[in-house]
Amino acid sequence: MKFFVDTAEIAEIKDLAETGLLDGVTTNPSLIAKSGRNILEVIAEICDIVPGPVSAEVAATDFDTMLKEGRKLAAIAKNVAVKVPLTVDGLKTCRVLANEGRQVNVTLCFSANQALLAAKAGAAFVSPFVGRLDDIGEDGMLLIEDIVQIYDQYDALKTEVLAASIRGPGHVLAAAKAGAHVATIPPNVIRQLYAHPLTDKGLAAFLSDWSKTGQSIL
């Protein structure tokens, strides 16, 4: 499963990219607003750091303006994935941009039927929001399982399932077990994946024993 980081903070992206484990980045208007910077500048800078897909979301809701915004975002760099909402106008925009050879991430997906439409529209990614479904008492991971099962039935559907609205390490594990192609994860959750108290305890014991030998590898 590929790991995307869900942020527009350049320092966070640079730090995580240095691990070599980062496959892409997703942003949205809320994350751009938190950064306090111009969206075009932020996306361009991120694309220079990460060679994988960088999702940049349109702000319009009508087809004509969405398409204009999508084309402008796509022109920033070859690895931009234009992000559109899962609406009729968003799907129409997806179809046009996909036919032009652009990567499109169809976001705000909350049902398997919506995901099927996104795939038929030519989306490179569909983003089911598991955490937001959990918030209203549903099981978001069941949606991931349903979409993966549907896509697996049809070789012609090339859309990747991108598990979004990830809230913790448990979501990451469940998404991987469900067969999601990608998880987009907040920076703090990615760092939680490294941590385990037994790892820390074992390392401390090894270092203590090593210091007693008086040796140096270098």
Provide the residue range defining the domain that includes 45: 2-213
Q: CA 163, 93, 178 angle in degrees (round to 5)?
A: 15
Residue 121, pLDDT score: 98
Position 171 in a domain: yes
Please count the structural domains in the chain: 1
Residue 178 lies in a domain: yes
Digit-by-digit pLDDT tens for the chain (218 residues) are 999 999 999 999 999 999 999 999 999 999 999 888 999 999 999 999 999 999 999 999 999 999 999 999 999 999 999 999 999 999 999 999 999 999 999 999 999 999 999 999 999 999 999 999 999 999 999 999 999 999 999 999 999 999 999 999 999 999 999 999 999 999 999 999 999 999 999 999 999 999 999 999 99
Residues labelled catalytic: 83
- Asked whether 179 and 186 are in contact (CB, 8 A), the reply is no
- Is the residue at 35 inside a domain? yes
pLDDT of residue 158: 96
Residues whose CB is less than 8 angstroms from the CB of residue 53 and which lie 6 or more positions away in sequence, other chains included = 4, 23, 24, 25, 79, 80, 81, 103, 105, 124, 125
Tell me whether residue 218 is in a domain.
Answer: no
Q: Are 28 and 83 in contact, with CB atoms under 8 Å apart?
A: yes
Domain membership flag for residue 58: yes
Contact of 123 with 86, CB cutoff 8 Å: no
* CATH number reported for the structural domain that contains residue 168 in this entry: 3.20.20.70
- Is there a domain that residue 184 lies in? yes
Strand partners, 114: none
Assigned domain for 176 exists: yes
- DSSP secondary structure string for all residues of the chain: -EEEEE---HHHHHHHHTTT---EEE--HHHHHHHTS-HHHHHHHHHHH--S-EEEE----SHHHHHHHHHHHHTT-TTEEEEEESSHHHHHHHHHHHHTT-EEEEEEE-SHHHHHHHHHTT-SEEEEBHHHHHHTTS-HHHHHHHHHHHHHT-TT--PEEEEBS--SHHHHHHHHHHT-SEEEE-HHHHHHHH--HHHHHHHHHHHHHHHHHT----
166 part of a folded domain: yes
